[in-house]
Structure 1
Amino acid sequence: MTMTDPAKSARRARHNAIRAQVADEENEAIEAEVAENAAALDVSLHLRISQSLDAELRRQAAAEHIPTSALVRRLLTQAVHRHDSSSVTLAEVEEIARRVAREELQRS
């Protein structure tokens, strides 16, 4: 079965459109990473992670159409700046210890 010239032309046009779309997406991802790098200090951080974590990070980055390094920077920034209100402060621990000590003295 041979394709006619119009069928070949249509297929070629579809392939060119797909290539152009992929190129646009890659350019957007590169631009986002360049902008992020320009706004941040360029300090390298090297760490060892499990293969499963690497795979999950790469999967999530691909799903978001961003480089894995950009995703990791975002996740680290969010984790560092997140205020966990469920944590007990040192002052609260000291107050609990004082209250327990008072109660123990009252029972004696």
Structure 2
Amino acid sequence: MRARRAAIRAEYAVEETEAAEAEAIENQQAVVSVRVPATLAEALRARAAAEKLPTSAYVRRVLVRAVGEPGEPVMTESRVEEIVRRVLRESA
């Protein structure tokens, strides 16, 4: 059973890599591969599912927000205010 799971995972990884490379070529994007702790990967998948997004799209959104535009601070005043409003709303 483990060997079958490993084979399925390997096949899936190859397919995902091929799809990502094709998308990168089409959209003039670069493919970035990064290792993260399993708990972080699961948290990313869960948040992506909650927003009904593919994990790669969710991670791309997180990275764009984290990096922002060149010269732009990562945490602007309006972003902090937005976070505070969301936390207050969710904790009510």
TM-score bracket for the superposition, by shorter chain length: 0.3 to 0.5
Normalising by structure 2, report the TM-score: 0.46
Q: Which has the larger radius of gyration?
A: 1
Normalising by structure 1, report the TM-score: 0.40
Query: Taking CA–CA contacts closer than 8 Å with sequence separation of 6 or more, which of the two structures ends up with the larger relative contact order?
Result: 1
